[in-house]
A and B are shown apart, each in its own frame.
Chain A
Amino acid sequence: SSGINAEYGGMNQEEKIVLKIIEESGNKGIWVKDIRFKSNLQLTQLNKVLKVLESKKAIKSVRPVNDSKKKVYMLYDSKPDSSLTGGAWYNQSDFETEFVDILGRQVLTFLQRQRAHAEVTHSDPMAAQRNMMVDIKQVKNFISQLGISKVELEEEEVKQILESLVFDGFVCRTYMLGEGGKRITFYRAIKHQPLTSGLSRVPCGVCPLLSQCTPGGQVSPNSCVYMKEWLMF
């Protein structure tokens, strides 16, 4: 810390204490209230210290994506942890919906191609199923080769994409034992299921006013606009 002292010019005792506390918080940062608790300084005093340190570019403030009202402080050079920035999905504090969607579609296409290839080359269904499975590393390599991502995605982030496809119903997840008894997760594309429930094919099935609908009422089947439109279609 004496090195830092020299770098930023003379610092008084309070500034040294605060800087040390902030340094300890690493790249997760620390909340103002917590600094006050640890340093036992008054709020006004602390705010002055923080202002000085910020002007000296010793520390910086970062707003986590989930809680935009809070502010955490960390050393100027440290890289904010992904839990604060939202990782690859957030650009500043905006969620990159389009990027996530495109990436999801590309990964799904990759898995579907694997499936198609496995089905053609293996007539035995069990062998075909084994061949169409991919693990996270393979998907990560595929994404890097695509080159559409500005940053290199972490394995955890690739897993998030795959899990979102599982929840959408396009991909299935299985576990296998790998080397050293470690559990590896595999993903494969499921055959596309075109089923649309019959109830959704009639206007009543998707109507937001169904609970108010009654014959002779203000909302009724015979005066229903959605019904008329559906019948005219």
Chain B
Amino acid sequence: KAVVSTQSTGAQNLDRFLSQRSEVTSYSRMSTSVHQLVVSLADDLFGPICAKTVSTVLQNCNSTLKDIIEKTGFDRRTVNQCLCVLVKHRFIQYEEVGEKQPITRYTIDLGHTLTLPLYPLFVSMVKEHHGSIAEIILEEVLHQGITTKDAVLETCLGRLASTSKESISMDSLKSLFDVLVSRGYIEKTIQDSDPTYEPPAKKNRTNNLWRVNSNTFYAYLRDVHLIDFIKNRFDDGAADVVSVILNINSQLEGDVAQVSSAATYDQILHGLKSKKAELVPFAKSYLDVLVNSDMGIVKMIEEFGGGSFIVHFGKFYEEYTKHHIRSIVKERFGLKCHRVFSIVVAQKMIEQKQVAELALLPYKDAKELLYGLYTENFLELQELHRTPDFSPLRTFYLFHAPLEKLRQKLLSTCYKAVFNLMEVRKRNLNENSRLVEKSLRADAAVLQATQKGIPPDQLEDILTRSEKQQLAGCMRLVKTLDLGEISVVDTILALTHFGTTQIS
């Protein structure tokens, strides 16, 4: 038989292999910081065994059950239980591959896992709009991942009974749950626990399964931030006009839309009349100002009948991301560096000499700042040779700011920052774990006493004074860390374009 050139078949095989396993290349680009964060989240929520499972699946994406058992060293039953929990909480997703002998392959659902740090934002949003009982319902659905309506409402009832004095009926809870569903915060799902663990016959199909719909939250957050951005850039009136446009066709269809639905001039006037009647005479003017602005966030798509207007989310994401990146450069490197960076961003490709001229800085300073940014990979150099001999004297060296790369790099930094904050919090709570347990016991005793009708000051103090001080210090630390995490989450929202582009 003719010997086929091994090189060509080898290359062909490799291509086929890579195209089938295209997830491999995207995972290999995934930064260590994301990997660390996801494992840390799994460890926090489910313990070290699940964390090890998550780590294994991260490293060997598209794993089969057999792969996981082999690599983790756990027995089959343990791995099954882990996968069950992780699938329920949407850390891991599975799919059956193959036609003749279908086999289940597991991968990490990065998109969902990385929304975990955003949960406090979701909860506070629901609390703001629907009250503290709705907050508890949402918290329980988040805790349980995928759950039935009855299960979650029973847990809520139990929680409310132990903490509040007034009794809440199951019916009022049910109606509140329905409100949350109608607003799109909670959605129905058909996804179930791992089929390899529970035999299909035992699955209870009479109860619908529910889970939190993060897309709705992303859409609301996007709208809130957009209106805030407009308020800061223009004024309150412009922000009101934009919020009217967004509310006219408030879509819960989700965050992936690049543009909002169109609102006609008449609809805007009508909306303004009910919201802020004093702005009605200036509506046309505000729309002109918004449409003529460089940012292009509000656009006119038709002219007749006073015009039809849309809000361009894509443009907003671009501007908002650029704004965050510039702010990060300003805080990290200083005002002068920020000016130099802005010049490069505005001019797209520019020579060192030209930057120095535009920056109104001494030539040496401008050079230092430029190369400082270059060393930190905030700027890149492009060589443009004028002569075929590639001589450096006759080459243009052009600086440019790779915004997309920067976005990904800074996103990776955000995830690392969240991970670091979590590590410090974990260690702090571990060091003071005895104290924390003691304080929980003290709180439980106080609660019991108040339920029995004994005033709490009659109880003996379980904690000493120094212990109380230490505990207060620990809690203050945890609070600072939590606030820090929320700040970073703000940047994550901007850099992921409110959930529309995750880290690749």
Contact = CB atoms under 8 A, between A and B. Distances in A.
A joins B in a complex: yes
A155 to B, nearest CB: 15
Interface stretch (B54-62, B157-165, B481-489): B481-489
B487 A198 contact: yes
A168 interface: yes
A227 B489 contact: no
B14 interface: no
A221 B420 contact: yes
A205 B488 contact: yes
Contacts, number: 141
Contact of A191 (B233, B339, B346): B233
Q: How many of chain B's residues touch chain A, expressed as a range?
A: 35 or more
B18 interface: no
Interface string A49-64: 0000000000000000
A127 B284 CA distance: 12
Given A164-B358, A168-B342, A198-B491, A206 B331 contact: yes
Contacts of A164: 339, 358-360
Interface SS of chain B: helix, strand, loop or mixed?
A: helix
Contact of B331 (A124, A168, A196): A196
Residue with the highest number of chain B CB atoms closer than 10 Å, among A168, A172, A199: A199
A116 interface: no
Contacts of B346: 167
Given A168-B339, A197-B324, A222-B423, A204 B413 contact: yes
Contacts of B331: 196-197, 200, 205-206
Contacts of A89: 360
A197 B365 CA distance: 26
Contacts of B414: 199
Contacts of A65: 363
B171 interface: no
Interface in A52-109: 65-66, 89, 95, 97, 100, 104
B480 A161 contact: no
A231 B360 CA distance: 38
A195 interface: yes
B424 A221 contact: yes
B490 A124 contact: no
Nearest to A100: B360
Interface string A180-206: 000000000011011111111110111
Contacts of A167: 339, 342-343, 346, 358-359
Interface string B45-56: 000000000000
Contacts of B444: none
Interface in A150-167: 160-161, 163-164, 167
Contacts of B420: 204, 213, 221, 224, 227
B332 interface: yes
Interface in B233-285: 233-235, 237-238, 281-282, 285
Given A197-B324, A231-B477, A210 B335 contact: no
A197 B417 contact: no
A221 to B, nearest CB: 4
Q: How many of chain A's residues touch chain B, expressed as a range?
A: 35 or more
Residue with the highest number of chain A CB atoms closer than 10 Å, among B325, B353, B480: B480
B288 interface: yes
B233 A193 contact: yes
Contacts of A198: 486-491
A215 interface: yes
Given A169-B326, A231-B477, A231-B480, A126 B359 contact: no
A213 B419 CA distance: 11
A126 B288 contact: yes
Contact of B484 (A169, A196, A201, A206): A201
B323 interface: yes
A27 interface: no
Contacts of A97: 361-362
Interface of A: 65-66, 89, 95, 97, 100, 104, 119, 123-127, 129, 160-161, 163-164, 167-169, 172, 190-191, 193-202, 204-206, 210, 213, 215, 221-222, 224, 227, 230-231
24 contacts: A95-B362, A95-B363, A95-B365, A100-B360, A124-B281, A125-B286, A127-B285, A160-B360, A164-B359, A167-B359, A168-B338, A191-B232, A191-B235, A193-B232, A196-B327, A197-B331, A198-B489, A199-B414, A199-B417, A200-B327, A202-B421, A205-B417, A222-B427, A224-B424
Given A193-B232, A197-B324, A200-B327, 5 more contacts: A168-B338, A168-B339, A198-B488, A205-B488, A227-B424
Closest 7 CB pairs of A and B: A198-B487, A200-B331, A198-B490, A95-B362, A204-B417, A221-B420, A197-B327
